């Protein structure tokens, strides 16, 4: 079992600060396991909204919860959005010491009324799959190929990993999306998801995607919002500076889990990945997602100009600005584009993250950094 002590610590701190803590993340990412670990250390009550007896109990939620003390855990709360109104009333009781830990597989943006109902009452924690800090940086190749979902990463056989990912995709499309009240044919959404996999790491072009599947830009954006809100896709926003250069204003699109990305493109093993045209884009998305997990409280963007200058990440952290360029080569070198980003954005330093083993200085403001050092990146920029 992988020790996720940092998440456990964050949840416990949030429960002390806030009456309601929301642990959000994709299906099968380990939310329930973490909640049960928390429950072992305190008096608790557990409701699983995919378990029929608990569903029946929650038909009268006030009656079911009004007299409970300690910690109340509600799993898969997005299937009963009306519970948010109940939690608002229960959490506002002045003398109550009860704490609520709610688990969900969708962001507040796509759960009806949650943002307004619990505004100012809830603390959000986002859970992703395993990261390099948890599994050990020596295992980065397996994590890159199979992704961070426990069901895909922890198995010893690649065939089992592929089968798990195939089942996850099918269940997500046929059950999880309809459970959110979204009525889109599963084949349509799978086709769109696969098309996004082919656009992984590229600037969003809704018109191009819409022409490919014969639908409007508005529909494309709604499909994209669903996959973003259910933690399958990341829309990396552009950074703007008041400079003379014309800058790109549309987001970049990444599939958040590299294992699902490879499955959608029918990449089955490392040999196939290394010879596939998307290997560079896959590597870029993998590294960027790892940095998002390590630097969870930093602001991150990409930057690009219409003339072709760009940098993969602009990181704003503690009032300072840094850059990251992701290179799938063991000996990265500086480029005119990176120097342009340093000068235009006044970046303090740029790290070029690569799959090799060595850290070395490229220039005064550019350092090559191996992927194995990503778990130390917060300390590096502090």
Residue 136 has pLDDT above 60, yes or no: yes
pLDDT value, residue 303? 95
The C-alpha atoms of residue 103 and residue 326 are separated, in whole angstroms, by 33
Residue 39 has pLDDT above 80, yes or no: yes
List, in sequence order, the alpha helices (H) in the chain: 5-17, 31-39, 52-57, 61-65, 83-91, 114-117, 132-135, 140-146, 150-153, 158-171, 177-179, 186-198, 206-213, 217-229, 258-264, 270-274, 279-294, 336-345, 377-381
Q: Which residue has the higher pLDDT, 45 or 1?
A: 45
Name the pLDDT band for 122 (thresholds 50, 70, 90): confident
Residue 63 has pLDDT above 60, yes or no: yes
CATH for 5-126, among 1.10.260.40, 1.10.3720.10, 3.40.50.150, 3.40.50.300? Answer: 3.40.50.300
pLDDT value, residue 109? 67
pLDDT value, residue 321? 96
Mean confidence (pLDDT) of the chain = 92
pLDDT digits (tens, 9 = 90+) for 82-105: 888 899 889 888 677 899 999 999
Any idea which of 132-146, 231-245, 264-278, 343-357 has the lowest mean pLDDT?
Answer: 231-245
pLDDT digits (tens, 9 = 90+) for 255-289: 999 999 999 999 999 999 999 999 999 999 999 99
| Paired residues of 203 in beta bridges | 252
For the chain, percent of residues with pLDDT exceeding 90: 78
φ/ψ of residue 370, rounded to 5: -70, 150
Any idea which of 81-90, 135-144, 365-374 has the lowest mean pLDDT?
Answer: 81-90
The C-alpha atoms of residue 161 and residue 148 are separated, in whole angstroms, by 11
pLDDT digits (tens, 9 = 90+) for 217-265: 999 999 999 999 999 999 999 998 877 778 889 999 999 999 999 999 9
The C-alpha atoms of residue 113 and residue 85 are separated, in whole angstroms, by 9
pLDDT value, residue 121? 81
Residue 150 has pLDDT above 70, yes or no: yes
Domain boundaries, the chain: 5-126, 132-381
Antiparallel, parallel or unpaired: β 366-370 and 350-354: parallel
Residues 303-321 have a mean pLDDT of 93
Residues 359-372 have a mean pLDDT of 96
Residue 304 has pLDDT above 90, yes or no: yes
* Cβ–Cβ under 8 Å, residues 352 and 361: no
- pTM comes to 0.93
CB neighbours of 92 closer than 8 A, spacing ≥ 6? 121
Q: To 5 degrees, how large is the angle CA 119–CA 11–CA 136?
A: 130
How far are the Cα atoms of 185, 206, 226, 235 from residue 219, in angstroms, in the given order? 13, 9, 11, 16
Name the pLDDT band for 80 (thresholds 50, 70, 90): confident
Residues 350-362 have a mean pLDDT of 96
Quick count: other Cβ atoms within 10 Å of Cβ 235?
Answer: 14
pLDDT value, residue 91? 86
Name the pLDDT band for 112 (thresholds 50, 70, 90): low
pLDDT digits (tens, 9 = 90+) for 176-192: 998 888 889 999 999 99
The C-alpha atoms of residue 321 and residue 73 are separated, in whole angstroms, by 39
């Amino acid at each position: 079992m992988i020790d996720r002590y940092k998440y456990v610590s964050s949840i416990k701190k949030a429960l002390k600060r806030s009456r309601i803590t929301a642990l959000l993340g994709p299906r099968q990412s380990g939310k329930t396991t973490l909640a049960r670990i928390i429950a072992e250390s305190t008096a608790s009550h557990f409701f699983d909204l995919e378990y029929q007896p608990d569903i029946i109990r929650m038909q009268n939620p006030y009656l079911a919860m009004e007299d409970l003390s300690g910690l109340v855990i509600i799993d898969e709360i997005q299937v009963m959005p009306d519970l948010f109104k109940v939690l608002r009333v229960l959490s506002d009781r002045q003398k109550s010491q009860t704490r609520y830990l709610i688990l969900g597989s969708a962001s507040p943006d796509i759960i009806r009324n949650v943002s307004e109902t619990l505004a100012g009452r809830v603390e959000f924690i986002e859970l992703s799959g395993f990261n390099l800090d948890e599994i050990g940086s020596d295992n980065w190749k397996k994590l890159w190929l199979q992704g961070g979902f426990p069901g895909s990463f922890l198995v010893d056989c690649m065939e089992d990993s592929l089968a798990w990912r195939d089942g996850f995709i099918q269940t997500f499309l046929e059950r999880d999306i309809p459970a959110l009240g979204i009525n889109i044919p599963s084949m349509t959404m799978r086709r769109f998801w696969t098309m996004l996999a082919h656009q992984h790491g590229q600037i969003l072009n809704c018109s191009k995607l819409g022409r490919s599947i014969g639908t409007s830009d508005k529909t494309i954006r709604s499909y994209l919002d669903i996959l973003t809100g259910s933690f399958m896709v990341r829309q990396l926003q552009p950074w703007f500076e008041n400079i003379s250069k014309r800058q790109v204003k549309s987001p970049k699109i990444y599939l958040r889990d590299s294992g699902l990305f490879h499955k959608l493109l029918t990449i089955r093993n490392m040999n196939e990945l290394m010879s596939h045209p998307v290997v560079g884009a896959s590597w870029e998305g993998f590294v960027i997602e790892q940095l998002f997990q390590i630097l969870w409280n930093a602001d991150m963007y990409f930057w690009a100009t219409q003339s072709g200058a760009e940098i993969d990440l602009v990181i704003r952290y503690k009032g300072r600005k840094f850059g990251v360029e992701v290179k799938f080569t063991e000996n990265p070198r500086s480029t005119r584009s990176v120097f342009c980003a340093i000068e235009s954005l006044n970046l303090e330093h740029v790290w070029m993250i690569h799959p090799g083993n060595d850290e070395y200085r490229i220039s005064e403001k550019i350092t090559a950094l191996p992927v194995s050092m990503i778990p130390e990146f917060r300390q590096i920029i502090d």
